[in-house]
Structure 1
Amino acid sequence: MSATLIITNDFPPRPGGIQAFVHELATRRPAGSVVVYCSNPGRRWGDPTAFDVRQPFPVIRENTSVLLPTPGVLRRARRIARLEGCDSVLFGAAAPLGLMTEGMRRAGVERVVALTHGHETGWSALPGTRQALRRVGDQVDVLTYLGDYTRERVARAVSPAAAARMRCLAPGVDTDRFRPDAGGDEIRERHGLGGRPVVVCVSRLVPRKGQDTLIRAWPRVLADIPGAVLLLVGEGPYRRRLRALAARHGVEDSVVITGSVPSAELPAHYAAGDVFAMPCRTRNGGLDVEGLGIVYLEASATGLPVVAGDSGGAPDTVVEEETGLVVDGHWPGPTARALIRLLGDTTTATEMGERGRAWVERAWTWDVVSRRLDDLLTGA
Structure 2
Amino acid sequence: MHKTLIVTNDFPPRPGGIQAFLHNMALRLDPDRLVVYASTWKRGREGAEATAAFDAEQPFTVVRDRTTMLLPTPRVTARATSLLREHGCSSVWFGAAAPLGLMGPALRRAGARRLVATSHGHEAGWAQLPGSRALLRRIGEGTDTITYLGEYTRSRIAAALTPDAAGRMTHLPPGVDEKTFHPDSGGAAVRAELGLSDRPVVVCVSRLVPRKGQDTLILAMPRILARVPDAVLLVVGGGPYEQDLRKLAHQVGVADAVRFTGAVPWARLPAHYGAGDVFAMPCRTRRGGLDVEGLGIVYLEASATGLPVVAGDSGGAPDAVLDGETGWVVRGGTDEAAVAGTGERVVTLLQDPELRRRMGERGRRWVEETWRWDLLAERLRTLL
TM-score (norm 1): 0.98
* Counterpart for residue 148 of structure 1: 151
* Counterpart for residue 188 of structure 2: 185
Please give the alpha-carbon distance, in whole angstroms, between the structure 2 residues aligned to 1:165 and 1:206: 34
* Counterpart for residue 317 of structure 1: 320
Q: Which runs of 4+ in 1 moved over 6 A?
A: none
Number of equivalenced pairs: 377
Q: Deviations over 1:296-321 (max 9, x none)?
A: 00000000000000000000000010
Please give the alpha-carbon distance, in whole angstroms, between the structure 1 residues aligned to 2:48 and 2:273: 23
Matches within 5 A, 1:1-380: 1-42=1-42, 43=46, 47-330=50-333, 331-377=338-384
How far did 1:41 drift? 2.0
Please give the alpha-carbon distance, in whole angstroms, between the structure 2 residues aligned to 1:25 and 1:85: 21
What are the ranges of 5 or more consecutive residues in structure 1 without an aligned counterpart?
none
AA partner of residue 278 (structure 1)? M
Q: Deviations over 1:104-160 (max 9, x none)?
A: 012111000000010100100100000000000011001000001001000001010
What are the ranges of 5 or more consecutive residues in structure 2 without an aligned counterpart?
none
Please give the alpha-carbon distance, in whole angstroms, between the structure 2 residues aligned to 1:290 and 1:261: 21
CA contact (8 A) 1:13 1:46 kept: no
How far did 1:45 drift? 9.5
AA partner of residue 146 (structure 2)? L
Give the alignment's Cα RMSD to 1 decimal: 0.9
Local SS of the residue matching 1:199:
strand
CA contact (8 A) 1:309 1:315 kept: yes
How far did 1:16 drift? 0.7
Please give the alpha-carbon distance, in whole angstroms, between the structure 1 residues aligned to 2:175 and 2:308: 18
AA partner of residue 12 (structure 1)? P
Please give the alpha-carbon distance, in whole angstroms, between the structure 2 residues aligned to 1:47 and 1:156: 41
How far did 1:88 drift? 0.2
How far did 1:44 drift? 5.2
AA partner of residue 174 (structure 1)? D
AA partner of residue 307 (structure 1)? V
- Give aligned-pair identity as a percent: 61
Please give the alpha-carbon distance, in whole angstroms, between the structure 2 residues aligned to 1:195 and 1:302: 19
Please give the alpha-carbon distance, in whole angstroms, between the structure 2 residues aligned to 1:33 and 1:325: 42
AA partner of residue 38 (structure 1)? A
Please give the alpha-carbon distance, in whole angstroms, between the structure 1 residues aligned to 2:278 and 2:251: 24
Change beyond 3 A, Cα 1:203–1:46 = farther
How far did 1:46 drift? 6.6
AA partner of residue 315 (structure 1)? P
Q: Deviations over 1:42-80 (max 9, x none)?
A: 245972111111111111111111101011101111111
How far did 1:31 drift? 2.6
